Structure 1
Amino acid sequence: MRAVTYTRKGSSDVLEIVDREPAAPGRGEVRVRIHVSGVNPTDWKARAREDWPMPFPDVVPNQDGAGVVEAVGDAVDGLDVGDRVWVYLAAHERPTGTAQESTVLPAARVVRLPEGVGFDVGASLGVPATTAHRALTVHEFGPARLSPGSLAGRTVLVQGGAGAVGHAAIQLAAWAGAVVITTVSSDAKERLARRAGAHHVFHYPDEKLADRILETAPDGVDHIVEVSPATNAGLDVRVLANHGVVAYYATDKGETFSLPVMASFAKNARWQGVLLYTVGQDALTAAAEDITAALRDGALPVGEGAGLPLIWYPLDETAEAHDAVENGAVGKVLIRVTE
């Protein structure tokens, strides 16, 4: 089989295609024939950042993907050969990501795709949708699980609604019954956010942005899904409702941020970090189950008409796919691994 690997840190030039035999799944593992691999910022960062050590001598990148189960190890229940599945965290603490024709991973990270859901959707879930689910379920008085109506009566602000996590957060929040506000930087991104299901869209930068949000949500917003706390912390506190939560998942525009202390504690604000690699299996399993329920309801479509353009590359252009994500491609970058 063909696999994309790297043996040292660096630019996308370190990626190369090799031929190797498919591995046999061990106890509690399955082997999945990957049809589509999804690329996320974490994938190129894991390859490029010199301050993150090489976890293995040889690494196949990409955490997310979708395909068909082709072998099942011992002690695996609920998955069978031939099942169409989506996978997540394939390369977490393992050298076997989805940029290859077959990959072996723990059965807990393999989830059946509902009938009629394409591999393009499945490969677009993983990191973005699971991050969005976690961000929407950490409110002190909010639901720990998402379902239709679980966020009814709540207002969600998604900062950066045209990104992959922002897109998934809009879709999941709207499916769960929330009023969804989002921020974007252009008219084109506004169109994408509205197609994803956002009810109110505001542009940034705008010195009156907080006022505009509060005109829409006079009592404040209950949940904020935050991509750039370094930029938005002050605004977040201003528009937050009492007991609101700011769930931040990225370091866009800076590794540190400051906030007005009194205004934050006066609202009993919760600042909740979200990192899938350390969140624990219970939260990941809950997310996978709720995301699958949303898929059955048709709530997580992808593509231009659904607010998330798809940008395709073949497996032998995985380096170009990584570069596209690193350079801020608008939409979801996918690799067609198997026809």
Structure 2
Amino acid sequence: MLAGWYERCGPADEVISVGEIEKPLAGPGEVLVRVHASGINPSDYKRRANIKAGMEFPRIVPHSDGAGTVAALGPGVSNYRVGDRVWIFNAQWARPMGSAAEFVSLPSIQVRPLPNCVSYEEGACLGIPAMTAYHAVFRDGPVKGQTVYVPAATGRVGAYAIQFARWGGARVIASTGSRDRMDEIKALGADVVLERSSDLAQAIMDKTDDCGVDRIIEIDFGNRIGFNEQIVAEGGTIVSYGAATPGKAEITLSPRRARNMSVHFIFVYLLSDAQKQTTCDGILQAIRDKALRHRIAGSVPLMDLARAHREAEAQAGTGHMIVTL
């Protein structure tokens, strides 16, 4: 089968190869998927570029997310049929074989039905970004009547978080560093879009009648904890799904402790099976309710995998880069 891979870390043009490798088989409890589209996430190109971290496997076929059709079923799998349209997630987590290949075999829990109204390219967006956003928004239950703040509104996760929160009945406040992106963010469903500035905290408090926001979907916890402490409501929650620098954060214990502020750190790869089920079911319901738009920055054929990685790195914040097969 045709696949892309790397055997050492470094710049995409120097380390990525595309060629023929052995086709996998569907083992017990697994589904063999013929991949039609593979989604690139920041974790994919950052891991490939990280020369300081040793290779976990002699060869890595990258990418966690994708979409395609069922090609074969392993022993013990009966909930799919050959030819079914599906999307997949966590393909390359803790294993060498990801979705940048014509075929990938995965445990059946990492394979989900793809509705006919969703293209393969759109289905390849649903893994890490949509699952992270859904879990971040609904981790503690319904958000109807709450106010949710999404600071990284144009990112892959942020864009889905806005849509899930709005679908869930929340009022959504978003912020952006670019005035030119405001209309785009409003189109995703944000009720209020604010430009990041020195008085952003006061602007958010003004928009919430000085009550603050109930939930913050935060990509940069360490750098923004001080700011978020100013705007989180009594009984509010900060959900951290990513971190830039620094690697540590200083949390004010008093008086915030008396206001019952909660902090949750989420890592989508390590959700429990029950959380995966709930998250995927919720995503599919949102799709059935026509509540999601999928932002695709571009599509590149597998033979140009190195170019796809370069463009994914360069186009952060504009949508998903998809590799087609």
| Superposition TM-score tier, normalisation by shorter sequence | over 0.9
Q: TM-score, normalised by structure 2?
A: 0.94
Matches within 5 A, 1:1-339: 1-12=1-12, 13-139=14-140, 143=141, 150-204=142-196, 206-218=197-209, 219-302=211-294, 308-338=295-325
- Cα distance, 1:51 vs. partner? 4.3
Q: Deviations over 1:68-113 (max 9, x none)?
A: 1111111113211111111110111221111111111111101001
- AA at the equivalent of 2:204: I
Superposed CA RMSD: 1.6
Q: Deviations over 1:243-290 (max 9, x none)?
A: 111111111343233233324313211111111122322212211111
- Cα distance, 1:195 vs. partner? 1.4
For the residue of structure 1 that corresponds to 2:254, the secondary structure is helix
- Cα distance, 1:328 vs. partner? 4.5
For the residue of structure 1 that corresponds to 2:70, the secondary structure is strand
Give, in whole Å, the separation in 2 of the partners of 1:330 and 1:49: 21
For the residue of structure 2 that corresponds to 1:246, the secondary structure is strand
- Cα distance, 1:5 vs. partner? 0.6
Equivalent residues of 2:308, 2:323 under 8 A apart: no
Equivalent residues of 1:124, 1:332 under 8 A apart: no
Q: TM-score, normalised by structure 1?
A: 0.91
Equivalent residues of 1:32, 1:70 under 8 A apart: yes
Q: Deviations over 1:33-90 (max 9, x none)?
A: 1111111101012222234332211110000011111111111132111111111101
- AA at the equivalent of 1:73: G
Q: Deviations over 1:284-327 (max 9, x none)?
A: 2211111011111111122xxxxx34222121222222223333
Change (3 A) 1:58 1:169: same
Which runs of 5 or more structure 1 residues have no equivalent in the other structure? Answer: 144-149, 303-307
- Percent of residue pairs identical: 34
Give, in whole Å, the separation in 2 of the partners of 1:188 and 1:113: 33
Which runs of 5 or more structure 2 residues have no equivalent in the other structure? Answer: none
Give, in whole Å, the separation in 2 of the partners of 1:235 and 1:263: 15
Give, in whole Å, the separation in 2 of the partners of 1:121 and 1:264: 41
- Comparing 314-323 with 63-72, greater Cα deviation is found at 314-323
- AA at the equivalent of 1:254: P
Task: Number of aligned residue pairs: give it.
Answer: 323
For the residue of structure 1 that corresponds to 2:138, the secondary structure is coil
Equivalent residues of 2:124, 2:322 under 8 A apart: no
